[in-house]
Amino acid sequence: MRRGGLLLLLGVIIAAAAALLFFFFFQTPPTPVPEALPQEPTPVPLRKVVAARVDIPANTVLTDTETFLTLRDIPEPEYNAAPDQYFTSVNELTTKVTLRALNATEIIRARDLTEAGLSFQVPLPDSPDTPRDKVFPLEVGNLTGVADQIRPGDAVDLVMTYEIRRLIIRPSLTLDPETGQLVVTPLEETLVDRVTKTMVQNVRVLRVLKPAIPQEAGTPTPAGQQGTAPPPPPSSTQTPDTFVPGAQWILLLAMTDQEAEIVKFTLDQQDPKPQITLVLRGRDDSAIEDTTGITLRLLTSRYGLPLPEPLQPLAIAPEEITPGPARPTPTPLPVPFP
């Protein structure tokens, strides 16, 4: 009996071991759950807008955009919420005036600025005793206005050319019809001379006014002929080296009353009308240059301009110029050797 119970117990142990082995070897392992990867946030697109580079006081005209302005990045959704309140180019703020004080790095909005009147753009004098500049209009073209390369904020010199007429009295030989003798009589002659001089220097350009080009109307032509279309308006795709022949525009210049009197007097000369040509100054060039002006005499005496040799005079004996039936041929003087 004890032996049979021992065998039964051994069989139960073997069966339990077999069941345990079957459970471990034939059980399907659980499917591993993948770990969630961290999600990186989508980068927000940025938009560059104009901001203050330095502290800008109120009532400041932004003529020097390089000193006052810079570009900063803001989120594009913020820009799209009010695109008309931001500026994307510093050139949009040229000649605008600030309505309030702006701090450095502050974003500039449209409500902070207004269009500056022309009087706001007149520069202040260097000292209280110096007279303040005024605004003077001057019409120029391609050859007198530096080929349309002048922009607001530039400085120019005004070079003026005059024709000066003087009455000269010269002696002249004339034949007296009563006596038949040669007599010396005064002869009036008009001497025309030209002079060129830089009359006004370091004048600031405030604005450039150009005529509007009509978009629809062509060039007027006689009846029955087809008119030519007007030239296209300038755009950013045009090369900067092109120009319209015969174009004229007006520059508004800041100058003193004394300088304005010089320019006005020059423009009022009608016979002949003098020429005023602008010379563009480099950036930060405010030096006043002392010039001599130029005439033909200065070109020959100071700058070595050679003159052509004059014609050799003829030598005529007294008997050769006496009226008579026969007049011999005048004898020329021998040409001297150099």
Residue at 190 is within a domain: yes
Residue at 228 is within a domain: no
pLDDT tier for residue 19 given thresholds of 50, 70 and 90? confident
pLDDT reported for residue 213: 67
Q: Same domain for 198 and 72?
A: no
Last residue of a domain, one of 121, 149, 170: 121
Residue at 290 is within a domain: yes
Last residue of a domain, one of 91, 121, 151: 121
SS (H, E, C) the chain: CHHHHHHHHHHHHHHHHHHHHHHHHHCCCCCCCCCCCCCCCCCCCEEEEEEECCCECCCCECCCHHHHEEEEEEEHHHHHHCHHHCCCCHHHHCCEEECCCECCCCECCHHHEEECCHHHHCCCCCCCCCCCCEEEEEEEECCCCHHHCCCCCCEEEEEEEEEEEEEEEEEEEEECCCCCCEEEEEEEEEEEEEEEEEEEEEEEEEEEECCCCCCCCCCCCCCCCCCCCCCCCCCCCCCCCCCCCCCEEEEEEEECHHHHHHHHHHHCCCCCCCEEEEEECCCCCCCCCCCCCECHHHHHHCCCCCCCCCCCCEECCHHHHCCCCCCCCCEECCCCCC
pLDDT reported for residue 331: 57
Residue at 33 is within a domain: no
| Cβ atoms < 10 Å from Cβ of 112 | 19
pLDDT reported for residue 173: 78
Residue at 3 is within a domain: no
Q: Residue 145: is its pLDDT beyond 50?
A: yes
Domain range spanning residue 191?
Answer: 134-211+246-301
Q: Same domain for 273 and 139?
A: yes
pLDDT reported for residue 332: 56
pLDDT reported for residue 336: 54
pLDDT tier for residue 328 given thresholds of 50, 70 and 90? low
Q: Same domain for 102 and 148?
A: no
| Bigger pLDDT: 329 vs 45 | 45
Last residue of a domain, one of 121, 151, 181: 121
Q: Same domain for 116 and 198?
A: no
pLDDT tier for residue 225 given thresholds of 50, 70 and 90? very low
Distances (CA, A) of 102 to 109, 140, 323: 10, 38, 96
In the chain, how many domains are there? Answer: 2
Residue at 191 is within a domain: yes
Which CATH number goes with the domain that contains 94?
A: 3.90.1210.10
Residue at 281 is within a domain: yes
Q: Same domain for 147 and 206?
A: yes
Q: Same domain for 96 and 144?
A: no
Q: Residue 232: is its pLDDT beyond 70?
A: no
Q: Same domain for 161 and 76?
A: no
Q: Residue 196: is its pLDDT beyond 90?
A: yes
- Mean pLDDT throughout 93-112? 91
Q: Same domain for 157 and 294?
A: yes
- Mean pLDDT throughout 277-290? 92
Q: Same domain for 146 and 292?
A: yes
Q: Same domain for 138 and 180?
A: yes
pTM score: 0.55
Residue at 31 is within a domain: no
Q: Same domain for 108 and 182?
A: no
Q: Same domain for 206 and 256?
A: yes
